[in-house]
Chains A and B, each alone.
Chain A
Amino acid sequence: MKTLAKEVMSTDFETLRPDLPLSEAVRSFRRASAKGRKIFGMMVTDEQNRLIGMLSMYDILLFMRPKHIHIWGHMDDIDVEGIMEVACERARSVRVGDIMTTEVVTVSPDTHVLRVMDLMIKKHIRRLPVLDQGEIRGIIYISDLFYELLESLSR
């Protein structure tokens, strides 16, 4: 069994820049997912390629969610068609850095995979950047960890 973060991390990843418009970020998600693996979140880096945040589909959906949606269930006579188009138009001025998550949990290449699993469970994390003295080495996806840890169970 692989026991360290560096053994289960993926080294093939794309990153985003904070000044990238949200529309471009959505395209990046689509492009990265077209390579095979479905990408639900990406690291955000500065000019020196240092990690400064993470942007997930969840972050983008949170921003796109109408502010007063809890009232909508009571508005059965309203035509909601076109609402998302308006929301998308408004989102055009928003950039990756405006809504990215800035408090990012990371691990080092030598972190034990059980510690990685514990972190992912406790903090509801599905992808974890692997840093070596501030430098990005890779990213651990929960699916890779899952199949690695449960290999003997599925055999």
Chain B
Amino acid sequence: METQRERDTLSRLRVGHAMRRQVIQRVEKTPIVSAVNAMIKYKVSAVLVTNPEGKPAGVVSKTDIMGAYYAGIPVDTPLEHIMNGPPLFCHPKMSLSQALETMRAKSVYRLFVREDEHDSVQGLLAYPDIVGLLYRVCRNCPISLRHKRRQESPDNVARYRVFEVMTSEVKALEDHTPLYVVMETLSAYRFGALLVIDGSGVPRGVLSKTDLALAYRRGVSPEVPAREVMTPSVVGCPADALLEDAIRRMIFTDVHRLFVYGESPERVVGVLSLSDAARVRSGSCHACVSSRIRLEAV
């Protein structure tokens, strides 16, 4: 008989179902600039650093790149000088629930996947991969919102709304703020991006670690104001939007976070990130666990 824990959607799914197989790797002597290019081109937030024999030695993330930029480290410095290590691994048969617990306990955003320490790296598991799999599971579920929308009958299953899942703390900086202050703020709050506002408090753009990595690569001084390197658009959604719709919007607009607004897009009240969505631990449906028990009982 299944335990209650086993009925949790994420406990049923395995790392091997969600992981991506393409792992971007660079040898430890490779210059930082090469890792930045790989992160931009492959749209990943970290690269695996290996020793000359191809064995995993460490990880360089966009946070490490930002740290190097802040510290004034030249972009042609070898990755081994800024990497963190050793990388954390999980087994492909580990449940997603356990993998999430490990990520949370170790304060990391990704786990590399392999059978054992003698095995080569099989893949990588990060929050977007978990959300992607949940999204697929949710859409294929017989009681999913997608199916309900096609029916005339009222939907009596409680659905997650964005305001229930979002992070209410929104850190915004004015567009004249120098990049080094932006980096200090991102580091202090452990955020991936900040909202950039003008003098009247109106959102004008977003400044992410990706924007900073590009600025570092191009030799932009950390003294320049945020407006010169920010992405000049803010992708958002209303606070009462359904979580499933918000995730869909993130997927289609190629962003990792949405700025959540109240009455108007100019009044941002929270941030919804893919990691927030992953933490819900099921699809978009409040009743995911209980409804599955009900379905199994039939």
Contacts and interface: CB of A to CB of B under 8 A. Distances in A.
A153 interface: no
Contacts of A68: 128, 132, 250-251, 254
B38 to A, nearest CB: 9
Contact of B254 (A87, A95, A103): A87
Contacts of B31: 102
Nearest to A100: B37
Nearest to B137: A74
B248 A78 contact: yes
A109 interface: no
A99 interface: yes
B210 to A, nearest CB: 10
A62 B132 contact: no
Given A66-B254, A101-B37, A74 B140 contact: yes
28 contacts: A59-B41, A62-B41, A63-B43, A65-B43, A66-B252, A68-B128, A68-B251, A70-B20, A71-B135, A72-B251, A74-B135, A74-B136, A74-B139, A75-B251, A77-B146, A78-B248, A86-B254, A90-B231, A93-B231, A95-B218, A97-B217, A98-B37, A98-B40, A98-B218, A99-B40, A100-B37, A101-B37, A102-B31
A92 B30 CA distance: 28
Interface string B256-275: 00000000000000000000
Interface string B32-61: 011001001111000000000000000000
B253 interface: yes
B41 A103 contact: no
Contacts, number: 66
Given A67-B43, A68-B132, A78-B248, A98 B139 contact: no
Nearest to A18: B218
Interface of B: 20, 30-31, 33-34, 37, 40-43, 128, 132, 135-136, 139-140, 146, 214, 217-218, 231, 248, 250-254
Interface string A50-94: 000000000100110111101110110110000100110010011
Contacts of B128: 67-68
B254 A102 contact: no
Contacts of A101: 37
Task: Label chain B's interface by main secondary structure.
Answer: helix
Interface of A: 19, 59, 62-63, 65-68, 70-72, 74-75, 77-78, 83, 86-87, 90, 93-95, 97-103
A66 B135 CA distance: 17
Contacts of A99: 37, 40-41
Given A97-B218, A102-B34, A83 B252 contact: yes
Nearest to B149: A77
B179 to A, nearest CB: 16
B40 A94 contact: yes
A16 to B, nearest CB: 14
B132 A71 contact: yes
A77 B252 CA distance: 13
Nearest to A89: B233
Residue from B20, B37, B214, B248 whose CB has the most chain A CB atoms within 10 Å: B37
A101 B248 CA distance: 32
A90 B254 contact: yes
B30 A103 contact: yes
Contacts of B139: 74-75
Nearest to B139: A74
B84 to A, nearest CB: 22
B15 to A, nearest CB: 16
A98 B214 contact: yes
A102 B140 CA distance: 42
